[in-house]
Structure 1
Amino acid sequence: MPPLRTGPMISSVTMATRSRLGESLSPTDSIPGKRFTSKSSRCICLPAADSDRHDTIGAASGSPGASSIQTRERHQVDLRDDAPAEQPTTAKSHRAAVPGLVRRHPALTVLCLLALVLVIGVGSWLFVLNNRIGDIPRFEADFDREDRPERVQPAGALNVLLVGVDGRGDDVRERIQDGETGILSDTMMIWHLSEDHQTSQVVSVPRDSWVDVPGHGQAKINAAFSWGGPELLVETLEDTLDIYIDHVAIVDFEGFRDITETLGGVEIEMADGSTENLEGEEALAYVRERKSLPRGDFDRINRQQNFLRQVLWDITRTGTRSNPVTMTNLIGDLSKLLLLDDDFDDGEIRSLGLEIVRKGAGEIDWMTVPTDGTGTSADGQSIVNLDVERARELFEAISKDEFEEYRKDNPVDFLPKKGEVL
């Protein structure tokens, strides 16, 4: 993060400019091809130096930042041959001039202060993130195999599989790290981040989806995780949906309780028009519920996405992200509920984290994979039938950053708006 430019430093350079413009050129002075007016001096915030140089605007004449700005100002005023010598700006003239600028341009002053607050807020968040990434545990994973689908997403884009597991009190992450089987995956979402990091799509896959699990035959897709852990689940999803998954993030539902408590609760707009502040066990009950909902697992998927959407909104509020204590606690909570594959490097995590802070939930498209109704398996299980052809078309468009074109001509099962989720 480049050094912050403080108010006095910027104002000092600005007043030097005002002095040169105000004393050397009156509003009626002119130069062939040029016209100068008093508006030329109405500047509070100056452009920052090139970010890759990280120049700091300093009061000392020898600093690179000051030199570059003074040079640009001289180009504006030294066009006349008879221009008087530059007069130094005294501390007295500086103090006298700044209140005048503030009085004449209060809106610009507010904007400058707001920008500074946002920079400090994001900077605090990044400082905490950089120091806590190492706290997130990893598991050994080998997703490579000969018949793996081709990776079609652009170089900077990512497909991340989010797997929700419910340890219900046990440290399920340690069991996964130890290679233990028998753990069911209750939630599966594929999160795509575009190459330019401007858009994201989150697609949920119902846990009762009836698929062919390599080496085991047909079964519900959540059985793949139970039989072979993250590797078998990735292989099953890639084979079924013809998608290349870059990374896996396993989420323990138990950790949501701590996040909601750190945030002081998560306000959810209910379908009946009421608003409930869910915290702790109430939040867990909201995302777990299935049997009492009319569409069962489909409505539960909507609840889970709705809850995550609201959590992201709350985390990315300016008041939250600019509070180092709150952000430290939140990232500490995240480190307690996340388990990442060991190829998920810190740079990618940092990039995703910054994108969440910058964009929040506003630019994320939430949806469910195309399905072809429900049914019953030969052994009597209630199952969800995937529309495999449409699902593959959807994931191809998403992976190639072509979702906006896809949605124009194809139906998409989007997450309902706030207040419309059962």
Structure 2
Amino acid sequence: MPSAFPLASPRPPAARRRPVAVASVATAALLLAGCTGDPAPTASSAAPTTATTSATPSPSPTPAALTVEGADAALTKAVAAVYEGRTGVEAKASLGTWGKEKVAVVTSGDDVTLAVGPRWKVVGGWWPSLDKGPSLGKGPRFVLVMGSDSRSTNLEGSRADTLQVVGVDGKGGAGVVGIPRDLYVPLSTGGSSKINAAFAYGGGRAQVRTVESLSGLPLEGYVVTGFSGFRKIVDDAGGLPLTIARSFTFLGLLDVKKGRQTADGNTVLAYARERKSLPDGDFGRSRHQQEIILAAAAAAKSQGVGSLARAMTITSRHSETDLGAEEALTFLATFYRVDPRKIGHTVVDGAIGTSADGQSIVKVTSSTRTPFRRLADGRL
């Protein structure tokens, strides 16, 4: 799904943002006018006209206070605390939402400050102008990204046909491990079945616990969307730049052309779901899903970290998650410090077999868990 590793209005309209910035500058100017220069002479204190006076140099102008375009007073104060009273700092805030929480990405040159609201709190960022390295949570970190087979906005009782464990090491590295939906494993809800059944029986947390048991990795949480939500995420974001290796017809309904293109929601969903034309079926489909995640990460990075707040708003509107705003904001921001071309990705393997009740399944083998062991440090 789009990152962002990718939306309510992500920023207040321009007509509202401009007065905030103007008011900040005007307030600073008024304060400067009240505290600089010499007091005007009064009748009693004025020097006699016959006195000889010498010119005095004009005082140096006082630097302007920190200003953050698009931010309210509380967010500006939170950002000012990062700069420890420095003046002359000009920044710009991009605002969005994650569930019921507000998020802000504030940029000033190469500096990035991440905050959550409405009582704004700085939760991370990186500040080269202050010689401060990135603060994006303690690595390694892992999140489960899922795509439900639900055709509606109600995901209850559906299965998680897309299962991708996304890891970051906090040092510029990352990795993605895909899990075939037919992998036959013990479920956290009891018994054994195809791994994607855990979501149908117990929701997102049950699926997380099942994947944790298989992988041995501590997952912070999950993000999941259905067919409808996935299409809307892509379309609301303006499409996804994607290279499709071969043409195919999906379910006899949609012709997908090969080549580099800005794919709409229907095309990206078809690419994520197609398996019949692939020589390795579900394994190939999982690789397609990883290509989509990496394409979204590359597109987001090319747009700049200021696009993150909008991307989070779009994703949050059309998905379900148990990640709080701070967790999601700092995790996703990590991908703006990673070269998407260097994100390793793979799909766990297994042996094709049949279950006791006659289902076609993928059996766990001695090498199935190897990719997870490689991802343990947050990168591949």
Tell me whether the two structures share a fold, i.e. TM-score over 0.5: yes
Cα separation, 1, equivalents of 2:86 and 2:288: 48
TM-score, scaled relative to structure 2: 0.59
Q: Deviations over 1:210-247 (max 9, x none)?
A: 11225643311111221222233233223333332222
Higher helix share: 1
Contact 2:143 2:165 in 1 (8 A): yes
TM-score, scaled relative to structure 1: 0.53
Using the TM superposition, give the Cα deviation of residue 333 of structure 1 relative to its aligned residue in structure 2, in angstroms: 1.7
Contact 1:198 1:363 in 2 (8 A): no
Cα separation, 1, equivalents of 2:87 and 2:209: 53
* Alignment gaps of 5+ in structure 1: 7-49, 59-64, 66-115, 138-153, 176-181, 405-422
Q: Deviations over 1:99-128 (max 9, x none)?
A: xxxxxxxxxxxxxxxxx9xxx6xx54xx32
- Relative contact order (alpha carbons < 8 A, sep ≥ 6): 1 or 2 greater? 2
Number of corresponding residues: 258
| Map 1:331-350 → 2, pairs under 5 A | 331-341=312-322, 344-350=323-329
**Does the alignment pair 1:189 with 2:142?**
no
Cα separation, 1, equivalents of 2:211 and 2:352: 19
Q: Deviations over 1:16-60 (max 9, x none)?
A: xxxxxxxxxxxxxxxxxxxxxxxxxxxxxxxxxx995444355xx
Question: Which AA in structure 1 matches 2:353?
Answer: G
Rate the CA distance shift 1:258–1:330 in 2: closer, same or farther, 3 A: farther
Using the TM superposition, give the Cα deviation of residue 209 of structure 1 relative to its aligned residue in structure 2, in angstroms: 0.2
| Map 1:74-93 → 2, pairs under 5 A | none
Using the TM superposition, give the Cα deviation of residue 290 of structure 1 relative to its aligned residue in structure 2, in angstroms: 1.9
The residue matched to 1:301 in structure 2 has which SS? helix
* 1:38 alignment partner in structure 2: none
Contact 1:265 1:279 in 2 (8 A): yes
Contact 1:254 1:284 in 2 (8 A): no
Question: Which AA in structure 1 matches 2:315?
Answer: L
Question: Which AA in structure 1 matches 2:314?
Answer: D
* 2:372 alignment partner in structure 1: 395
Using the TM superposition, give the Cα deviation of residue 258 of structure 1 relative to its aligned residue in structure 2, in angstroms: 2.5
Selected match of 1:268 from 236, 242, 260: 242
Contact 2:189 2:202 in 1 (8 A): no
Cα separation, 1, equivalents of 2:215 and 2:338: 28
Rate the CA distance shift 1:346–1:292 in 2: closer, same or farther, 3 A: same
Percentage of pairs with the same residue: 28
* Alignment gaps of 5+ in structure 2: 1-20, 26-79, 103-136, 247-257
* Aligned-pair Cα RMSD in Å: 3.3
Q: Deviations over 1:312-359 (max 9, x none)?
A: 2222213x6556xxx665333211223222xx3332222113223343
Cα separation, 1, equivalents of 2:321 and 2:224: 6
Contact 1:266 1:314 in 2 (8 A): yes
Question: Which AA in structure 2 matches 1:330?
Answer: A
Using the TM superposition, give the Cα deviation of residue 285 of structure 1 relative to its aligned residue in structure 2, in angstroms: 1.7
**Does the alignment pair 1:128 with 2:106?**
no
Higher strand share: 2
Larger Rg: 1
* 2:148 alignment partner in structure 1: 165
Rate the CA distance shift 1:300–1:239 in 2: closer, same or farther, 3 A: same
* 2:231 alignment partner in structure 1: 257
Rate the CA distance shift 1:227–1:133 in 2: closer, same or farther, 3 A: closer
Rate the CA distance shift 1:163–1:136 in 2: closer, same or farther, 3 A: farther
**Does the alignment pair 1:379 with 2:357?**
yes
Rate the CA distance shift 1:303–1:354 in 2: closer, same or farther, 3 A: same
